[in-house]
Structure 1
Amino acid sequence: MEPIDASLDLDHLVARLGRWSAGRGPLYLLLATRLRGLMDEAALPPGALLPPDRRLAKALAVGRTTVVAAYDTLRQEGRLVRRQGSGTRVARAALARAAPTSPEAPRGGSPGTKTPRVTETSNPLFLHLLEAPDDVILLSCAAPAQPPPELAEAYRSLVLPDRDLGYHPAGLGVLRAAVAERYAVRGVPTGPAQILVTTGAQQALSLLTRLLLAPGDGVLVEAPTYPGALDLFREAAAVPLPVAVGPDGMDVAEAVRVIERHRPALAYVVARFQNPTGAVLPPLAGRRLVEAANALGVPIVDDEVLSDLAFDSASAPAPTLSAYGEVIAVGSLSKVVWGGLRIGWVRGPAPLIARLARLKALHDLGSDLPSQLAATRLLDDFAPVLEARLASVRAGHDHLRAELARLLPSWSAAPATGGQTMWVRLPHGDGVSFAQLALRHGVAVLPGATADALGGSVRHLRLHFLAAPDVLTEAVRRLAAAWAEYTPGPAPERASLHAIVV
């Protein structure tokens, strides 16, 4: 699509916006959604200067506050940069690598390092989907890099069914029963009719978003939260209603007030090993949240993708919000087994599952059958797979913390009790600008602001600890080199880095 020179041709931009207001919901969200679409289509390229809010408002025949709010929504997503005196520009991708100044010496990198080509994207969480360069260490995407040997064995032992077309929109019966049994073991009686098998947890969230949300609907979310969920809600032109997350998870008292005041169409939470903070919601708080949502008829979605990854594996089976009332649970095998095994699920009331199955049939007529058979085989003897993964993430967590303490002692990183990521606070600056510099040093990180609908977490980064120890060591070395360049004036890290960086 031909790019728009928004700084020169306001009429061209207005024409491309088209019937942007033809939809349900606040005008500012509809405008933000259309502008976002133009960015995704590369019609509004990085660096494009957008019209001043007053000029665009006049051209669109709307109030200035509509344009200001739309610009601010996109700014909070990291898609726009607004600076006094220089206007509003489409942001360069937070993790986009700058072009080298010469083949021998990339700008901001080490001499002699080859600069790979990176496709720009507005969401750094999905950088790994876009031909990531081999020499960049991806701490931005948290997923196991190595599948367990049990997965290959499960595929080798596959026996495909006879007289079966292979179309199972709700999922293969034996897999639905196996997932239902996992909930029964955790004290939540569940039948196969309450399980929908999906192509990963992301599809589960996508189907729920499409079924339950309309433009302008409110969605209660944690701040910060999983950026992939925020992307789905924004794509649906829903209105995030963020509630801050602390060391003990979401502020449930505030969440209940939001539910009572706004009656959102959906509440989305990550109760256990919250993504990205790693917080765990206490049982009493979880019960209060579920009871409040149930009392007012607000569907609550609990993202359980990380719930199995407790470092203390000797504890009882992971608690679940579903034990406290009617909850829609989303799960996946991607974090314990492998991201390439695209098997997820939704647990919920049977009528909801039937509606979701009809919707899923429109997309793919059912998830891949061999993968479902392999997943069933894995769940038959899941304990060894889980224990091996837990040993790996525990070791990775401890190693990453030790390396950060050694090379970046001014960074603050509280120990996690589970999950696969560490929530790091920088002593100064902001995560988005540092992420840009870090990528030029060969490591991709997720800026906290991209996960926070409140517009906070600007000094935070999310780092995963799933890589091998030597890779984590090299990643922290590169982060320390980037920090030494980023930090103005003398810094404690500089002296300790001298022998490593020069």
Structure 2
Amino acid sequence: MVLGGLDREECQSGTIGLQMRPIELADRLGRWSSGRGPLYVLLASRLRQLIDDGELPPGELLPPDRALAAALAVGRTTVVAAYDLLRAEGRITRRQGSGTRVAGEPNGARAKDAPIDPFFVDSLERPDDVLHAVCAAPDEPPSFVAEAFQRIAPELGRIQDDLGYYPYGHPSLRAALAERYTSRGAPTTPDQILVTNGGQQALSLLAHALLSPGDQVLVEAPTYPGALEVFRRHGAVPRGLPVGLDGLEATVRERRPALAYVIPTYHNPTGSVLPTLARQRLASSDVPLIEDEVPADLRFPGEQVPAPIAAYGDSVISVGSLSKSIWGGLRIGWVRASTPLINRLARLRAVHDLGGDVPTQLAAVQLLPFLDDPALHQTLKARHDHLRSLLATKLPDWEVPTVTGGQCLWVRLPYGDGSSFAQTALRHKVAILPGSGLDVTGRSDQYIRLHYRASQAKLTEAVHRLAAAWSAYSPPTTHAAKRPVLVV
């Protein structure tokens, strides 16, 4: 389209900012209203897909509410609600006088005030001069990973008459995982196990199987941001409850959610551990429950971990992974669930990739015992203690609660907010995760998440940079009142 001799790209890259025609966006949306759920959720889901797939690029100026509503033949409130949902996720920005835009600047630079999903952006964009404290995972594989692959080489050499396609996962790994669950108090058979390419794929498959657009999912506030993104990607609406899903029964009766999601052991990000009685209560709730056990093996030396929630209820769905305990490059995750659900997930999995990497699965059988290796737990504790000690020395006014395991610290800032401070920290070459992206209730703005999976040398340098950033930090005017007043 040409306007006064300028095409769309030239207008957007300059100061004119040509707005997309409502009918053009309506054409791109296609059959957005086909599905189950409120219209605004279906519309937001389709817009989200266009944004994430790059069809609506950063900086794109979207049509006004009324114009788009007229083009789609829906009420204006439907468009407003869809835009508001996407704005809350950080995917669009809305400003009086400048309209509604896809978050980020043209030519790939992200908007300063609305970064999109920093958890995933950190995985995709990693400048060499920035220390990354966003994605909590070991920064290198332990030596026994290479040794495990060496040990399975003869087994690979003996394979005959085997295509290597295992949508359910390799039988030897399924059996080993079932045995591990059984030893932890949740009797399990191999047909209750599906092996996936990491815990994130496990959550994606479950969301695909169990959720429809508009469904409500009960989550802890705060919680793991990757799970929130999965649920939203499938058009679901996360609803926050306190950590531990306190008040679950009443909320289930009131809202009739499709799913509940909980991290009971070394909760991400607070590090809390749900006691046995609370686990039993959750297991008896009248809603499908996913327990994320990915951090469950990250205990400090001498700590005892309660049995999984799956030990108290046959309908509980468990998700696990080797990525956080051993190394992120090991794309081995799993789902433990009822056999009918496992069969359904395997059919979905076969459509995506026909199954995971067989050599890695064979090596994973050798690696499972290392989840209980005292050396791993001691290293984890040492790095945790090192980070807390540095924070107490360099940033004594930060509130840093103690934990007994896990991978991160949930830090409360004395003033300001995590999102604006994260931008200041990034200018000081350290990337952190603001609490706002982990809490659907909006009550964690004053928090940041810091992990302690890096080496002590990197943790030391990260804290030095954070201290410099905090000295330079000036909170937005909307948060200025939270800053303490010094009386001389």
Fold similarity call, TM over 0.5: yes
1:231 pairs with 213, 229, 232, which one? 229
Cα-to-partner distance string for 1:287-335 (whole Å, 9 max, x where unaligned): 1122123xxxx21110000011122x32445421011112110011111
Cα-to-partner distance string for 1:27-48 (whole Å, 9 max, x where unaligned): 1111212222232233433344
Aligned residue identity for 1:446: L
Contact 2:282 2:309 in 1 (8 A): no
Where in structure 2 are the equivalents of 1:392-411 lying within 5 Å? Answer: 392-411=379-398
Where in structure 2 are the equivalents of 1:91-102 lying within 5 Å? Answer: 91-92=103-104
Where in structure 2 are the equivalents of 1:302-321 lying within 5 Å? Answer: 302-311=291-300, 313-321=301-309
Distance 2:59 2:163 in 1: 50
Where in structure 2 are the equivalents of 1:103-182 lying within 5 Å? Answer: 122-158=116-152, 159-160=155-156, 161-163=158-160, 164-182=162-180
Q: Does 1:333 align with 2:348?
A: no
Contact 1:241 1:258 in 2 (8 A): no
Who is 1:79 aligned against?
91
Who is 2:238 aligned against?
240
Who is 1:22 aligned against?
34
Where in structure 2 are the equivalents of 1:240-389 lying within 5 Å? Answer: 240-245=238-243, 249-251=244-246, 254-293=247-286, 298-311=287-300, 313-326=301-314, 327-380=316-369, 382-384=371-373, 387-389=374-376
Contact 1:44 1:90 in 2 (8 A): yes
Who is 2:45 aligned against?
33
Please give the secondary structure, in 2, of the residue aligned with 1:346. strand
The change in CA–CA distance for 1:318 and 1:66 in structure 2 (over 3 A counts) is same
Alpha-carbon RMSD across the aligned residues, in angstroms, is 2.6
Q: Does 1:10 align with 2:21?
A: yes
Distance 2:212 2:399 in 1: 40
Please give the secondary structure, in 2, of the residue aligned with 1:201. helix
Contact 1:76 1:455 in 2 (8 A): no
Distance 1:409 1:39 in 2: 41
Aligned residue identity for 1:239: V
Who is 2:417 aligned against?
430
Cα-to-partner distance string for 1:371-403 (whole Å, 9 max, x where unaligned): 01111012255533xx22211221111111122
Contact 1:250 1:281 in 2 (8 A): no
Taking structure 2 as the reference length, what is the TM-score of the superposition? 0.87
Taking structure 1 as the reference length, what is the TM-score of the superposition? 0.85
Please give the secondary structure, in 1, of the residue aligned with 2:195. strand
The change in CA–CA distance for 1:98 and 1:475 in structure 2 (over 3 A counts) is farther
Distance 2:398 2:100 in 1: 31
**Moved >6 Å (runs of 4+):** 96-99
Distance 1:458 1:375 in 2: 39
Please give the secondary structure, in 2, of the residue aligned with 1:292. coil
Distance 1:97 1:336 in 2: 33
2:474 pairs with 487, 490, 493, which one? 487
Contact 1:76 1:449 in 2 (8 A): no
Residues matched between the structures, number: 458
Who is 1:198 aligned against?
196
Contact 1:97 1:436 in 2 (8 A): no
2:69 pairs with 21, 42, 57, which one? 57
Contact 1:176 1:197 in 2 (8 A): yes
Q: Does 1:463 align with 2:447?
A: no
Please give the secondary structure, in 2, of the residue aligned with 1:412. coil
Please give the secondary structure, in 1, of the residue aligned with 2:93. strand
Who is 1:441 aligned against?
428
The change in CA–CA distance for 1:80 and 1:485 in structure 2 (over 3 A counts) is farther
Distance 1:414 1:44 in 2: 41
Who is 2:4 aligned against?
none
Who is 1:500 aligned against?
none
Distance 2:136 2:126 in 1: 14
Cα-to-partner distance string for 1:241-278 (whole Å, 9 max, x where unaligned): 22132xxx332xx2211112222221111111111222
5+ residue gaps, structure 1, are: 100-106, 108-119, 494-502
Contact 1:392 1:466 in 2 (8 A): no
Distance 2:227 2:369 in 1: 30
The change in CA–CA distance for 1:18 and 1:98 in structure 2 (over 3 A counts) is closer
Please give the secondary structure, in 2, of the residue aligned with 1:461. strand
Aligned residue identity for 1:485: A
The change in CA–CA distance for 1:198 and 1:67 in structure 2 (over 3 A counts) is same
Distance 1:444 1:156 in 2: 36
Please give the secondary structure, in 2, of the residue aligned with 1:179. helix
Distance 1:81 1:449 in 2: 16
Cα-to-partner distance string for 1:438-459 (whole Å, 9 max, x where unaligned): 2221111111111122233112
